[in-house]
Structure 1
Amino acid sequence: MANKAVIVGISGPSSSGKTTLARLLQRIFNGTTTPTAHLNTFIIHEDDFYFPDDKIPYTTTASGETIQDWDTAAAIDLPFLSQALQYVRKNGTLPPRLRSKEDQNDRTDSGVPEATIRELRSVVQSRINGVGSIAFLEGFLLFAPPQEDHVLRSVHDAIQLRVFLPAAYGLVKERREGRSGYVTVGSAPVQEGEREVGKGGDGEIDLEAEDDRPPQNFWVDPPGYVDDVVWPRYVRDHSWLLVGDGDGVEGEDDAELVRRVGDGTRVRTDVGIEVAPGAGSAEMEDVLRWAVDLVLRFYVDGRQ
């Protein structure tokens, strides 16, 4: 199938391996060229769509402390993300406006042998025909429940292949608390006139312009941030996916939802989202093999 621009969305809780998997898939699929095929691939990081630091909302923890909440949809410039995804669907390239800061964050060893990567690249080379693009979008909050007016609906609908990586609470806590921190956008510029990235609102963004966002800062999770914010927010936002049919979710407090979800590895498989094998316990090499096969079947055969 020629001249396709496909967006593969990879989501899951913080520290579930989303960025690692996206980078591995990009390496394996990128530059696939044969006499009859050429495939261009790139990564879109949802973290690159955070509002500037001084626009991130605050929340009050159970202990009464007021801190910034980076793990809510209100911290993400969703109109910017949605417009960028539509640009990718139409043009098959990353908008010039988007320059990644996520790639400045620490990288960890994927644990996947180079021999496996070469093997999978060979498999992809033998299967791809025609000319096209694949964008691997990774982020902690990409998918929406069925209601039409959900804040993530436009993002969800722009993604053709939806992949979810479960991760147990204990693993999320260990990995997240082991990170040094995150590069952020910095403070919002003070400027009057048309809408700027990071100012909010629903106006159009000039995606062809160069990225003129301000200098970056560095965010470090405060003590207790995983238990106070990261995990409860994740459970609340994904209760429709983790809890099952959602019965009883409305009106339940975070503590009750967290209790019901348990370690967070039970995920629905009947809502058009592909769930990685192993319920969060599989090695990255196994998840990668599964994901390569999934993307190939979707891209080449047009089926999931």
Structure 2
Amino acid sequence: MTKVFTIGIGGPSCSGKTTATRILCQILQNTAIIYQDDYYKPEKFIPTDSNTKLANWDCPESVDFNSFAKNIEYVKTHNGQLPEGFRSTEESNVHDGSSLVSREASIKLQETLAPLLDKYNNVIFVFVDGFLLYWDNNVSQQLDCKISFKASYETLKTRRENRQGYHTLEGYWVDPPGYFDNIVWPEYLKQSKHDETIDDLLTIDTDQFDIDETALKVAKKIVQDLMGE
């Protein structure tokens, strides 16, 4: 019988979620990724911020959590497979640093994860990546391992503003002027306060740790949580 584990990696935009997720998928065999960004509501339903009149893609109301939760449940019961016909737009966004992981770190990751792989011969690891990952209980409760990243205002703003844009369901999004300060950062502060209430959540400050160190901390948390399953 195939065992399916779900691993949540949450945190604000540009904190390193997708980088860590894709690094772990390079090491582990039989993986799948579910991106929360694939579950935005259609653009016409995205709330408008009352003060700035900007579309607020970073608030909980912008996400179709029902579909998000249903697809996590589907993947868990269908051996890591998403529903037929589902296509991820987030896969087209390649502005991550997963190619920068060192050879030495890759070896350490393999060694760290080896006991888990030895215990489960037939296993699929489903990574769930999202900036509001623990906001909705139906989503959060389906995660076997819960990890969140954080970083400083300066780091997140610099990384976000250095990105060219994002592929979306309906086209391509580029942040308008002031979007980070007026939308992204305030919404992150709300989300981070909520995340403090989540049990068994490991929070990693990616200002303090480089790509290699962060990926290794994620691997250790995965082994810690899943070895007892």
1:140-179 superposed matches below 5 A: 140-144=131-135, 152-179=136-163
Equivalents in 1 of 2:139, 2:216: separation in Å? 26
Q: Could you tell me how far 1:12 is from its partner in structure 2?
A: 0.7
Structure that is richer in helix per residue: 2
1:75 to 2:62 alignment: yes
- Aligned partner letter, 1:143: Y
Equivalents in 2 of 1:273, 1:125: separation in Å? 23
TM-score computed with the length of structure 1 as normaliser: 0.69
1:288 is paired with a residue whose SS is: helix
The equivalent of 1:290 in structure 2 is 217
Which structure 2 segments of 5+ residues have no match?
A: none
For residues 261-295 of structure 1, the C-alpha deviation after alignment (integer angstroms, 9 at most, x for no partner) is xxxxxxx497321122x563211111111111221
The equivalent of 1:19 in structure 2 is 18
1:137 to 2:137 alignment: no
1:56 to 2:46 alignment: yes
1:216-295 superposed matches below 5 A: 217-241=171-195, 268=196, 271-276=199-204, 278=205, 280-295=207-222
For residues 82-121 of structure 1, the C-alpha deviation after alignment (integer angstroms, 9 at most, x for no partner) is 1001112212223124311111113233432134224423
Q: Is the 8 A contact 1:25 1:288 kept in 2?
A: yes
Equivalents in 1 of 2:137, 2:109: separation in Å? 33
2:4 is paired with a residue whose SS is: strand
Equivalents in 2 of 1:56, 1:270: separation in Å? 27
The equivalent of 1:300 in structure 2 is 227
Equivalents in 2 of 1:269, 1:81: separation in Å? 21
- Structure 2 vs 1, CA of residues 231 and 115 (structure 1 numbering), >3 Å: closer, same or farther? same
Q: Could you tell me how far 1:23 is from its partner in structure 2?
A: 0.3
1:60 is paired with a residue whose SS is: coil
- Aligned partner letter, 1:84: N
How many residues align? The count is 225
For residues 220-274 of structure 1, the C-alpha deviation after alignment (integer angstroms, 9 at most, x for no partner) is 0011101100010111233234xxxxxxxxxxxxxxxxxxxxxxxxxx4973211
- Structure 2 vs 1, CA of residues 69 and 270 (structure 1 numbering), >3 Å: closer, same or farther? closer
2:217 is paired with a residue whose SS is: helix
Equivalents in 2 of 1:126, 1:158: separation in Å? 23
- Structure 2 vs 1, CA of residues 289 and 86 (structure 1 numbering), >3 Å: closer, same or farther? same
Equivalents in 1 of 2:32, 2:152: separation in Å? 28
- Structure 2 vs 1, CA of residues 279 and 101 (structure 1 numbering), >3 Å: closer, same or farther? closer
2:200 is paired with a residue whose SS is: coil
Root-mean-square deviation (CA, aligned residues, Å) is 2.0
Equivalents in 1 of 2:130, 2:42: separation in Å? 17
Q: Could you tell me how far 1:60 is from its partner in structure 2?
A: 2.5
Q: Whose radius of gyration is greater, 1 or 2?
A: 1
Equivalents in 2 of 1:55, 1:11: separation in Å? 24
Which structure 1 segments of 5+ residues have no match?
A: 31-39, 145-151, 187-216, 242-267
Equivalents in 2 of 1:9, 1:137: separation in Å? 5
Q: Is the 8 A contact 1:4 1:131 kept in 2?
A: yes
Equivalents in 2 of 1:108, 1:291: separation in Å? 16
Equivalents in 2 of 1:89, 1:109: separation in Å? 28
For residues 143-165 of structure 1, the C-alpha deviation after alignment (integer angstroms, 9 at most, x for no partner) is 14xxxxxxx11011111111011
Q: Could you tell me how far 1:74 is from its partner in structure 2?
A: 1.1
TM-score computed with the length of structure 2 as normaliser: 0.90
The equivalent of 1:181 in structure 2 is 165
Q: Which has the higher contact order (CA 8 A, sep 6+)?
A: 2
1:94 is paired with a residue whose SS is: coil
